[in-house]
Structure 1
Amino acid sequence: MQYELNTLGDLLQKAEQFLERKGVQKPRLEAQIIFAASLNLERIQLYTQDDRPLTESEILDLRKLLVRKGDGEPTAYLTGGKEFYGRKFTVNTHTLIPRPETEELCDLVLSNRQHYAESLKILDLATGTGCIGITTALELQKKGHSIEHLYLLDISEFALEVASLNATLLEQANIPYELQQSDWFSSFTVPAPNSIDLIISNPPYVFTNEYEKLDATVKNFEPEIALHAANLDEIITKIANGAKKYLKPEGFLYIETNPAAAAAGLRILNESGFKQTTSHTDLAGREHFISGRN
């Protein structure tokens, strides 16, 4: 099809060609996502409105986004959102972009729900966008559990600002929640110890040698504090010791971890007094998660 200059269809075609020259994977899809977000359209509308002329302002905004994408910036930061477990979560450069494997962490928590009480208090430690705690709470509620309270903890006040935006999903479901800034459990306040049913955490777990080799699209844009673990054993120990203090008897701890560190993580959970400690594989067969019971 022949497009007129500066129509949506013409510029979308040029954007795809630009991203392809820049070496961007799946340039057509990436261009569609960027255009749809910038123009506030559904992707199908990019083609039903392909002969629509774009304004100078719209073209300028698109060019800025395409240049950033050409420089390797993740699309989620350009559009300000990422889908996770069927819901749209706000993200920015202060938060890690939610990964598909972390959806598997939520699946793991949900798969064990026959062992949970009807009414639950949940803690999402190192919450970032809040996607893990929010998703788990909403999905458990859908399955008949009452969510008494959800705590979202992070060391970064900027990450908590993003989590607060995503917490509107909780408000719509009438789930009580609280955001707290804390370096692990150091500043965590709760009405009583041993009162949490589920603690879930996706801490930084990329080893230093791995971090140095990360793709530039990750290393140059996503927050190092959410990725890099200089001493993962120390992090898991802090999580385990704090969880022992705040979990109810028979409460559960779930951690996403480096597959190369799963065995060490289980050892730490055992030494901390957890029982029923288990490693769990992801869809790729890697031991990506560990769990234990208080």
Structure 2
Amino acid sequence: PDAVSIYPNQDYNERNTVVLISPAFGNRLYPYENGALYPTQVRIVNYPCSFKGESLMLVGPDGPVSAVGLSWNNTGHPYISGPRLCGAKLSRMNAIGDDGPPDYGVNSNDGISLYGERAQYRLRLLTTGGFTPDGVLGLRPNMFESFFKVRVTLSDGEIRDLDHVDEEYIIEDGYRLTIVGLAELGVHFSSTNSEKYDDCYLEDKDNQIDIILEGDEEAVKLITHVVIPSESEEGYLPFYNPGGPGLKPDVNTRYTAPSPASVQNVSINLDDPKTVTYFIPLKEAVQI
């Protein structure tokens, strides 16, 4: 790659995403066309990339570990099939780490900043690429009902899909659950603001989206999946990678493909959020 970055995943708790950048990674040809160029595998090699001469490191529960040897085989193509989720984790809402260095211009877009005390639980979604409504515009906090469902599985095996914001669902044995809205996008607009959620709304366009929930823990524990219906159900819209059709597509231009309908398993991490905080001494951080 010409460059490796975390941007736009600049929040401290988003550093699990690494972005590789190069115009040589692909073109707009379909994979079956002559001259098509697209990545099929990413592999981490042993190459010094830090001031200590270390290769790429990851931080785990016991501290830094080498990432050398990890690989990922790519089976998708943005002009054939749109973006998907690759992970979903449910934890108690905590805004620690939902910011970054001041010079990065990080906005206050966490669940607490948007919804206050209503933000009791965070269902964090990790995406395979940019998740935009049309490949150009940003996703807005009030767009849950256009793109998502939260699926719960009851003790008797019954499956229920929760698809409305601000509706108090009685899940089982009287336990309640409410979908509050989306977060980790842009700043909050309220009815008292002169601004509103419209096509000019700016979001961070990174690889994390949060579904914010409130209710009883017993109900929250029954969440098993996040559903993206895309175009398979009336009333739902697909996601696009950047480079999608926008509001006024041109018939002679090739755009990225819409997302397929998909279902993502949810990891329940209410007792152990599986997050890591790691600091290095400042004198080490500034050495070159």
TM over 0.5: no
Q: Which has the higher helix share?
A: 1
Q: Which has the higher strand share?
A: 2
What TM-score do the two structures reach when normalised by structure 2? 0.24
Answer 1 or 2: higher relative contact order, Cα 8 Å, separation at least 6: 2
What TM-score do the two structures reach when normalised by structure 1? 0.24
